[in-house]
Amino acid sequence: MKPTLFLLAAGMGSRYGGLKQLDGLGPNGETIMDYSIYDAIKAGFGKLVFVIRKDFEQDFRDKIISKYEGHIPCELVFQELDALPEGFTCPVDRTKPWGTNHAVMMGADVIKEPFAVINCDDFYGRDSFQVMGKFLSELPEGSKNVYSMVGFRIGNTLSESGTVSRGLCSTDANNLLTSVVERTKIQRMDGEVKYIDDNGEWTATPDTTPVSMNFWGFTPDYFAYSQEFFKTFLSDSKNMENLKSEFFIPLMVDKLINDGTATVEVLDTNSKWFGVTYPEDRQSVVDKIKALVDAGEYPAKLF
């Protein structure tokens, strides 16, 4: 069974103005998402599921879905603030979505096969889709609790315009994820990759340290775990009172790993990540995509 690609398209970049998912960065106005979808089709993914805001539906169908129809089946699901388990209501003043794992939960009714989750505005690179597509398509039918994550080498994920946030990953001898620690200030300094540690000190880490760029692989049993743990999350008064609290994917994954419920294999990739973290990054991304097209990695027109 071909895996599904689940695309997180509900959010807008806070540090980069506008809907960066729709920013044309390729030679013919292609978006970063176009390249991800092109790579996913090449890697054997069989369906796309987008999670968006309901008020963005018509625009999204006209500008986005229309491009891919005829190339791969597409479905839309919606992340709404009031999509909560029975017995819970959304705080009146809350405007922020409930986070990436809440967005993933919206796919439960339309995804019955192994699936990968990605951000729409990150350029992940061909190899990352191939390693994830291979992992998911080789899972025995009915597999449960065997998940994966593409572990990008930290040196391949930095911005030239400032610090970045990354989830630094630790793995065991079998390359299974043991922890993800979010580091909010990482950059290259004096030729070394460094981050601010818990003591506020700059600490060096090897260029090959795996980091999470929110490229996950799951089987459908993940939805039921998420539904249950989301109730626990909402039952914590701190999360209800904090109007910006979010139910993130690493939070759910961390629980499943610590409980011994699931394993997450960290898949190494030589792909170079890039994206528009800061407005100043935009030209660099345009140049990098042009170089890939010029080198024959991608056709000048994708769809």
**What digits encode the pLDDT tens for the residues 212-250?**
999 999 999 999 999 999 999 999 999 999 999 999 998
Query: For residue 290, is it within any domain?
Result: yes
CA distances from 91 to 95, 105, 112 (A): 9, 20, 32
Is 188 a member of any domain? Answer: no
Let me know if residue 185 belongs to a domain: no
Residue that the structure tokens 């946030």 belong to:
165
Is the C-alpha dihedral spanning 147, 153, 157, 162 positive or negative?
positive
**Mean pLDDT (whole number) for 103-113:** 97
CB 248 within 8 A of CB 127: no
Q: Is residue 157 part of a domain?
A: no
Between 21 and 139, the more confident residue is 139
pLDDT tier for residue 14 given thresholds of 50, 70 and 90: very low
CATH number of the domain to which 77 belongs: 3.90.550.10
Q: What is the CA radius of gyration of the chain?
A: 19
Of 36-40, 87-91, 276-280, the range with the lowest mean pLDDT is: 276-280
Give mean pLDDT, residues 240-267: 94
The owner of tokens 């490229």 is 215
* Mean per-residue pLDDT of the chain: 91
- pLDDT band per the 50, 70, 90 thresholds, residue 19: low
| Residue 262 belongs to some domain of the structure | yes
- Which tens digit of pLDDT belongs to each residue from 75-99? 999 999 999 999 999 999 999 899 9
- The parent domain of residue 233 ranges over 4-151+211-295
For residue 20, pLDDT beyond 60: no
Q: What would the mean pLDDT of 37-41 be, rounded to a whole number? A: 97
Q: Assess if residue 280 is contained within a domain.
A: yes
| Pairwise CA distance, residues 131 & 135, whole Å | 6
In this prediction, residue 228 carries a pLDDT of 96
What is the percent of the chain with per-residue pLDDT over 70, rounded to a whole number?
96
Residue 129 counted as domain residue: yes
Residue 23 clears pLDDT 80, i.e. is over it? no
Percentage of the chain lying above the pLDDT 90 cut? 76
Structure tokens at 253: 């994954």
Amino acid making up residue 1: M
Q: Is 133 a domain residue? A: yes
H helices of the chain, in order, are 32-42, 57-60, 66-68, 100-105, 126-137, 221-235, 237-241, 249-258, 281-294
Total number of domains in the chain: 1
What is the per-residue pLDDT for 188? 95
pLDDT computed for residue 24 by the predictor: 84
